[in-house]
Amino acid sequence: MDITITPHQSNNCWNSIGVYGDRSCKKLETVIHCRNCPVYSTAGRSLLEREIPVDYLNEWTATIASPQTQSPLAIGNQAAVRIGRATDTFSAIVFRLSNELFALPVGVLQEVTHPSAIHTLPHRSNDLFLGLVNIRGEILLCASLSHLLGLETIEPPSSDRDCRMLVVGKNGKWVFPVDEVHRIYRFHLNEFKATPVVISRSQETYSQGVIDWHDKKVNYLNAELLLDMLARRI
């Protein structure tokens, strides 16, 4: 079946130089992920607005009506193999807190934004719960991931140029100030290593393992446990 999608195929940059390719696109330094880029959004809209080919329904009708050459079990096994290969890798956003690197799965990442003013709440704000932040008109809870992980401030505070805020969560959103964001990267499951003994007890609680990245150690966090603990403590 041949369906021409000219607008989509004319600028398929996300699969070549974007997060699904070699990540060489310079725009990733500011947009972090292709889904935040206007080029990607425009291509998505063009897919929805394109005209359906005249013979589209006829081709699908013929395909569905044709007898199967393979048993459903064989087809299911092939699909399982493809899914298994796809799940051998995962994407995570790498960021820095103080002088240590961490990563969170992109599945919980909602947005990366420049720092916004944190409004403290009388008798409520503390070292963990910093206050409220206005992100695109939405008031969100802001928490200190550094405090939750028991990090000590060793390096001087980062410049405003490097600092970012991560908006994460699924059912509810949280905002985490971080010292630097290193974009989204794809890792293989065999890159995981056990959490070293020297790591702090707080970090070990939320860690799923350590990844070697650019000759540095990245602590991959258990997002579900981390968000659940925040909901309990705040």
Of 13-17, 20-24, 31-35, 202-206, minimum mean pLDDT range: 202-206
Assess whether pLDDT exceeds 80 at residue 226: yes
Strands 180-188 and 138-143: unpaired
Same domain? For 96 and 159 the reply is yes
Count other C-beta atoms under 10 Å from residue 165's C-beta: 21
Q: Which residues pair with 181 in a beta bridge?
A: 95
pLDDT in tens, 115-152: 999 999 988 889 999 999 999 899 999 999 999 988 87
Q: Of residues 207 and 48, which shows the higher confidence score?
A: 207
**Count of the separate structural domains present in the chain:** 2
Same domain? For 39 and 149 the reply is no
pLDDT at position 81: 47
Same domain? For 145 and 203 the reply is yes
pLDDT at position 7: 44
Same domain? For 62 and 99 the reply is no
Same domain? For 163 and 131 the reply is yes
Residue 81 forms part of a structural domain: no
DSSP H or E run through 68: none
Residue 75 forms part of a structural domain: no
Residue 76 forms part of a structural domain: no
Same domain? For 93 and 53 the reply is no
Is 199 in contact with 151 (CB distance < 8 Å)?
no
Q: How far apart are CA 182 and CA 91, in angstroms?
A: 13
Backbone φ and ψ of 49, nearest 5°: -95, -5
Phi-psi label, residue 23: left if phi above 0, alpha if psi -120 to 50, beta otherwise: left
Q: How far apart are CA 188 and CA 130, in angstroms?
A: 35
User: How big is the CA angle at 110 (ends 104 and 113), to the nearest 5 degrees?
Assistant: 95
Residue 197 forms part of a structural domain: yes
From 34, 66, 98, the end of a domain falls on 66
pLDDT at position 198: 46
User: How big is the CA angle at 182 (ends 42 and 118), to the nearest 5 degrees?
Assistant: 85
pLDDT at position 62: 74
DSSP string covering 200-225? -HHHHHHEEEEEEETTEEEEEE-HHH
**Per-residue pLDDT band at 180 (split at 50, 70, 90):** very high
Same domain? For 32 and 124 the reply is no
From 27, 51, 66, the end of a domain falls on 66
Same domain? For 161 and 100 the reply is yes
Q: Is 21 helix (H, G, I), strand (E, B) or coil?
A: coil
Distance of CA 142 to the CA centre of its chain: 19
Percent of the chain with pLDDT over 90: 29
Q: How far apart are CA 102 and CA 192, in angstroms?
A: 13
Residue 84 forms part of a structural domain: no
Enclosing domain of residue 54: 1-66
